[in-house]
């Protein structure tokens, strides 16, 4: 917990690797902080904690402002993306072409002053094209196999049209997204924190695409939908992007502090407190997404009544990762509200982006054109009536 003298508002974190260091050394082990170590950390006095919370809110607002300079409209999508960023998750963006998906991700990288890479997924894309591979390099008369890092080694990664790659290639992201590391030829390479993946999906031109497997979908904290901009936003987009002076997002963090600042803010998010009854509420929501009669349905008491729509249209419900996503997203929202504790409203607000891609609908749902977001909204309505 050493605050940098040059940046008093920066939370105390161990010095991060230099931003943009795309050549990390492979590591065989990844010791995780234990609960004991977390408990040993000294508590923050109220003034320091309040300062950190205010810094979080201020940073969030500044990033939003910088994104808003480039991205016209889509405020809800930007908020959800930033929430996922500070919650430590990844975002799957689904939208029609030309709505600014790639622009959003690139602008975010600029605003955060983090390294940014883009991978255009195609059907012939290979895993090594993402993770990197060993190449034979001749240096000083010697030949040796050197690991050439792939584009995945970046702080912000845009996986554009991820569903156009084969499942084999898509799975190359699994380990990276979950473990923040890549294993190539028996060697594990740690990805530089923060590692933030934004993948886009094109809902049209479904021919020649490979829907993401459920395991892959589950790695994404949020799935957000990027709608068409409104008429007013459309006019502003047209006007701002067809001039000689294109707007640019100014970096919020200094170059060498960006990663540590982001990690510090992410750590602060995890310090937010959650009451037991809110954890119970989140668990009840997750349990309610699992249809009755499913062979994977858990036992125990059901805190929310089974919804007929869920039983009829859902093949598989959310995994526990959905619950994690609920609480992490809710914590970010709590901090943004100036609180250090989560409320019901925080959980409700992140329920749709956190759960909608985790509901695996059956054929009947597709036939009836059922939107999983509508199912989640029904669950939330029932929860508001019964659980509180």
Residues lying near another protein in the complex (CB under 8 A): 38-39, 41-46, 49-50, 53, 271-278, 339-344
Q: Which tokens in the block code for residue 357?
A: 């891609």
Nearer residue to another protein within complex by CB, 230 or 275: 275
Query: Shortest distance, CB of residue 239 to another protein, whole angstroms?
Result: 42
Would you say 85 and 196 are in contact if contact means Cβ atoms under 8 Å apart? yes
Query: Shortest distance, CB of residue 378 to another protein, whole angstroms?
Result: 24
Would you say 164 and 122 are in contact if contact means Cβ atoms under 8 Å apart? yes
Query: Shortest distance, CB of residue 285 to another protein, whole angstroms?
Result: 16
Nearer residue to another protein within complex by CB, 133 or 343: 343
Nearer residue to another protein within complex by CB, 44 or 355: 44
Query: Shortest distance, CB of residue 351 to another protein, whole angstroms?
Result: 17
Nearer residue to another protein within complex by CB, 10 or 125: 10
Query: Shortest distance, CB of residue 46 to another protein, whole angstroms?
Result: 4
Nearer residue to another protein within complex by CB, 59 or 74: 59
How far CA 103 is from CA of 80, 196, 334, 356, in Å, comes to 16, 15, 28, 24
Query: Shortest distance, CB of residue 43 to another protein, whole angstroms?
Result: 5
Bond from prior residue into 49 cis (ω within 30 degrees of 0): no
Nearer residue to another protein within complex by CB, 324 or 343: 343
Query: Shortest distance, CB of residue 180 to another protein, whole angstroms?
Result: 23
Nearer residue to another protein within complex by CB, 22 or 337: 337
Nearer residue to another protein within complex by CB, 179 or 279: 279
Query: Shortest distance, CB of residue 331 to another protein, whole angstroms?
Result: 11
Nearer residue to another protein within complex by CB, 123 or 273: 273
Nearer residue to another protein within complex by CB, 288 or 340: 340
Query: Shortest distance, CB of residue 258 to another protein, whole angstroms?
Result: 23
Q: Which tokens in the block code for residue 8?
A: 């008093």
Query: Shortest distance, CB of residue 47 to another protein, whole angstroms?
Result: 9
Would you say 311 and 291 are in contact if contact means Cβ atoms under 8 Å apart? yes
The DSSP bridge pattern shows strands 156-160 and 142-149 to be unpaired
């Amino acid at each position: 917990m050493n605050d940098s003298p040059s940046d008093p508002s920066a939370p105390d974190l161990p010095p991060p690797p230099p931003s943009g260091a795309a050549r990390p050394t492979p590591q065989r082990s990844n010791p995780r902080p234990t609960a004991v170590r977390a408990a040993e950390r000294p508590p923050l006095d109220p003034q320091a904690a309040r300062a950190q919370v205010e810094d979080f809110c201020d940073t969030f607002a500044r990033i939003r402002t910088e994104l808003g300079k480039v991205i016209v409209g889509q405020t809800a999508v930007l908020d959800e993306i930033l929430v996922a960023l500070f919650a430590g998750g990844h975002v799957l963006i689904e939208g029609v072409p030309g709505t600014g998906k790639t622009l959003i991700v690139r602008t975010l990288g600029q605003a955060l002053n983090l390294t940014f890479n883009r991978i255009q997924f195609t059907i012939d894309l290979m895993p090594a094209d993402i993770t990197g591979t060993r190449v034979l390099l001749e240096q000083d008369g010697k030949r040796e196999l050197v690991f050439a890092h792939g584009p995945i080694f970046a702080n912000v990664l845009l996986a554009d049209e991820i569903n156009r790659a084969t499942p084999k290639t898509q799975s190359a992201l699994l380990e990276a997204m979950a473990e923040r590391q890549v294993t190539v030829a028996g060697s594990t390479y740690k990805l530089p924190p923060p590692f933030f993946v934004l993948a886009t999906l094109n809902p049209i031109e479904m021919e020649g695409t490979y829907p993401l497997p459920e395991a892959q979908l589950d790695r994404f904290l949020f799935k957000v939908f990027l709608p068409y901009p409104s008429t007013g936003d459309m006019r502003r987009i047209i006007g701002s992007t067809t001039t000689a002076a294109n707007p640019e997002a100014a970096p919020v963090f200094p170059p060498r502090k960006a990663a540590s600042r982001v990690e510090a803010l992410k750590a602060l998010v995890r310090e937010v407190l959650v009451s037991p009854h809110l954890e119970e509420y989140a668990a009840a929501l997750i349990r309610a997404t699992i249809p009755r009669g499913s062979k994977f349905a858990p036992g125990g008491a059901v805190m929310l009544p089974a919804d007929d729509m869920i039983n009829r249209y859902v093949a598989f419900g959310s995994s526990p990762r959905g619950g994690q996503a609920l609480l992490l997203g809710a914590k970010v929202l709590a901090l943004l509200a100036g609180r250090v504790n989560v409320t019901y409203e925080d959980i409700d607000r992140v329920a749709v982006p956190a759960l909608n891609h985790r509901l695996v609908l059956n054929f009947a749902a597709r036939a009836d054109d059922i939107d999983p977001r509508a199912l989640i909204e029904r669950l939330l309505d029932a929860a508001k009536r019964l659980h509180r």
